């Protein structure tokens, strides 16, 4: 062995021992156990970049801990496995805050000015702060009632009209993801932004598709101007477009939701120019998950003849034919189709990759037991909850479309383990809007169309390349499909009565969680 090789080997061994000692002496015994330390501070990084969302499952299966620590250079992550610990984390919404993350996103992803960031960042965990006030401002716009109803109606009418126009042309061949995301993008944004919806301009839609895949480059501040140049230009284009929308008062013809968003900004003295930058973030909330969720829902229904048949039978019972015009009522789809709703929830259970993250604003003893150190991040990966055999049973790895149907005599899986829309004070406020849209699109497709893959067989695209920003992944490749209208009639959608809220998340199920309103 040459002496220089021996010296290098000695240095590596010395560094390794130093890092092990550093990790040991800086890890408090009260913290959750630290794992994945084969190469101290580095192994978790390697694992995460190699396995992405599946890394947390691998750690759960290997160590079987209720909560554990991942040590990385300059940061600590505490990852929650035990469902029982989730309410404990959510209850501490001030000590373990989501708002700290949102504030960084406003600066890094939205690119808001220093003045605006100061406003957003003030009183991060106090009720009077901007981010803590936000849910209260938009509550009436996204909860059951006339405003949500109006927004839903608009989106569903846009979808129904578009599917009608397509049916008129006869069979069509489309790229399934590309086609669905366009349909949903237009319908969703028409519902939210009204007749002056900027996404009606194809340049805006194109800008969104350029910007979205690079959001992580902005989140991590990896010089997006240089490393994601096109995405950066797309964001600037969108911000300019939004500026016009707000400065010309076009939002006044939009939904109550967009009006509430302007109201909070006005009241916190955020200019219309900066409101425009915040609206780029609004698009992330509205679009990033709705579009892929609709793709997977359509995939799961049409790729399995049993699922398709069950849902078609359920929906057909609500179709009324008046003077030869078949009509489906939205209330029937939402209230009388438990298999459709169950398929929607199972689609989340099976596909979701979202991670609820919280920043520790102070040292905190979780459940009086686990020390969470100030400045660290607590993470609740949805995929871990959704793949735990003790919750979902031996069929955990199968897509079972009736899993969430409530049959008399059967025990319902713990609703807290369903994380499709997150939970606690940051539970997705848009879930009722999004659910209605996805269910109605699915219902119209099932009633009106047959979908066949051009190559004859359904193959589920992998999602390994999907960016880890959204709660639902995008497919790695698209599927060429043929859309065949099932009849040549002109269909209609009717809307009877106001919206009722559906049981989607644990918070919608009476008595399943505590009320965390602040």
Task: Enumerate the known binding-site residues for heme.
Answer: 428
How many angstroms separate the Cα of 358 from the Cα of each of 16, 45, 187, 322, 387? 31, 19, 32, 53, 22
Backbone angles phi, psi at 28, to 5 degrees: -70, 145
194 binds ligand HEM (CB under 6 A): no
Number of residues that bind ligand HEM (CB under 6 A): 26
Give the interface segment with ligand HEM, choosing from 47-55, 120-128, 239-247, 287-295 (CB under 6 A): 287-295
Nearest to residue 193, comparing CAs of 209, 208, 180? 208
381 binds ligand HEM (CB under 6 A): no
* Whether the Cβ atoms of residue 378 and residue 357 lie closer than 8 Å to each other: yes
x/- track of binding to ligand HEM for residues 468-487 (CB under 6 A): ---xx---------------
Nearest to residue 60, comparing CAs of 44, 75, 79, 47? 79
Among 251, 421, 449, 491, binds ligand HEM (CB under 6 A): 421
Among 87, 420, 473, 485, binds ligand HEM (CB under 6 A): 420
356 binds ligand HEM (CB under 6 A): yes
Among 78, 93, 98, 177, binds ligand HEM (CB under 6 A): 98
Please say which residue, 167 or 185, places its beta carbon nearer to ligand HEM.
Answer: 185
Please say which residue, 430 or 473, places its beta carbon nearer to ligand HEM.
Answer: 430
Nearest to residue 264, comparing CAs of 141, 98, 92, 95? 141
CA distance 299 to 452: 10
CB of 194 to ligand HEM, least distance (A): 14
Backbone angles phi, psi at 49, to 5 degrees: -75, -30
CB of 14 to ligand HEM, least distance (A): 42
Give the interface segment with ligand HEM, choosing from 21-29, 64-72, 271-279, 421-429 (CB under 6 A): 421-429
CB of 517 to ligand HEM, least distance (A): 12
Give the interface segment with ligand HEM, choosing from 81-89, 238-246, 262-270, 414-422 (CB under 6 A): 414-422
285 binds ligand HEM (CB under 6 A): yes
CA distance 420 to 432: 13
* Whether the Cβ atoms of residue 105 and residue 281 lie closer than 8 Å to each other: yes
Q: How far apart are the first and last CA of the chain?
A: 67
CA distance 466 to 473: 6
Q: Which helix (H) or strand (E) holds 377?
A: strand 377-381
245 binds ligand HEM (CB under 6 A): no
254 binds ligand HEM (CB under 6 A): no
For the chain, give me the number of helices (H) and strands (E)?
22, 13
Among 92, 426, 442, 466, binds ligand HEM (CB under 6 A): 426
CA distance 107 to 121: 10
Q: Which residues lie near ligand HEM (CB under 6 A)?
A: 98, 102, 135, 142, 257, 285-286, 289-290, 293, 354, 356, 420-424, 426-430, 433-434, 471-472
């Amino acid at each position: 062995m040459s002496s220089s090789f021996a010296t290098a080997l000695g240095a590596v061994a010395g560094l390794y021992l130093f890092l092990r000692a550093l990790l040991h002496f800086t890890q408090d015994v009260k913290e959750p156990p630290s794992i994945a330390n084969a190469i101290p501070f580095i192994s978790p990084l390697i694992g995460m970049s190699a396995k992405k969302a599946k890394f947390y499952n691998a750690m759960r299966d290997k160590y079987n801990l209720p909560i554990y620590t991942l040590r990385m250079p300059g940061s600590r992550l505490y990852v929650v496995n035990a469902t029982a610990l989730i309410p404990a984390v959510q209850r501490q919404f001030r000590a373990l805050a989501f708002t700290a993350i949102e504030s960084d996103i406003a600066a890094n992803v939205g690119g808001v000015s220093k003045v605006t960031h100061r406003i957003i960042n003030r009183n991060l965990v106090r009720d009077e702060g901007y981010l803590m006030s936000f849910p209260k401002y938009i509550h009436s716009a996204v909860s059951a009632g006339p405003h949500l109803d109006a927004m839903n109606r608009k989106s569903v009418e846009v979808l129904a009209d578009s599917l009608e126009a397509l049916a008129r042309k006869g069979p069509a061949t489309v790229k399934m993801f590309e086609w669905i995301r366009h349909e949903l993008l237009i319908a969703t944004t028409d519902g939210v932004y009204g007749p002056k919806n900027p996404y009606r301009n194809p340049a805006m839609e194109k800008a969104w598709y350029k910007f979205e895949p690079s959001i992580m480059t902005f989140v991590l501040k990896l010089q997006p101007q240089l490393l994601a140049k096109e995405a950066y230009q797309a964001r600037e284009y969108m911000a300019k477009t939004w500026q016009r929308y707000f400065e010309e008062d076009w939002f006044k013809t939009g939904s109550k939701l967009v009006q509430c968003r302007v109201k909070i900004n006005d009241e916190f003295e955020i200019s219309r120019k900066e409101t425009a930058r915040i609206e780029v973030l609004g698009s992330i909330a509205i679009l990033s998950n709705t579009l892929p969720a609709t793709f997977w829902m359509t995939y799961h229904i049409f790729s399995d003849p049993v699922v398709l048949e069950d849902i078609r039978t359920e929906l057909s019972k609500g179709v009324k034919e008046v003077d030869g015009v078949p009509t489906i009522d939205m209330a029937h789809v939402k209230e009388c189709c438990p298999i459709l709703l169950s398929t929607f929830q199972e689609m989340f259970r099976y596909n979701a990759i979202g991670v609820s993250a919280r920043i520790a604003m102070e040292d905190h003893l979780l459940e009086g037991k686990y020390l969470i150190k100030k400045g660290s991040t607590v993470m609740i990966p949805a995929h871990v909850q959704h793949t735990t055999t003790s919750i979902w049973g031996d069929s955990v790895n199968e897509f079972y479309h009736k899993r969430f149907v409530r049959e008399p005599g059967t025990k319902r899986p713990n609703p807290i383990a369903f994380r499709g829309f997150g939970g606690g004070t940051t539970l997705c406020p848009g879930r009722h809007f999004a659910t209605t849209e996805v269910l109605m699109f699915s219902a119209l497709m099932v009633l009106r169309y047959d979908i066949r893959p051009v190559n004859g067989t359904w193959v589920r695209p992998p999602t390994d390349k999907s960016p880890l920003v959204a709660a639902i992944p995008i497919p790695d490749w698209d599927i060429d499909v043929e859309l065949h209208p099932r009849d040549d009639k002109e269909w209609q959608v009717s809307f009877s009565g106001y919206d009722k809220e559906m049981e989607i998340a644990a918070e919608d199920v009476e008595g399943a969680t505590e009320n965390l309103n602040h």
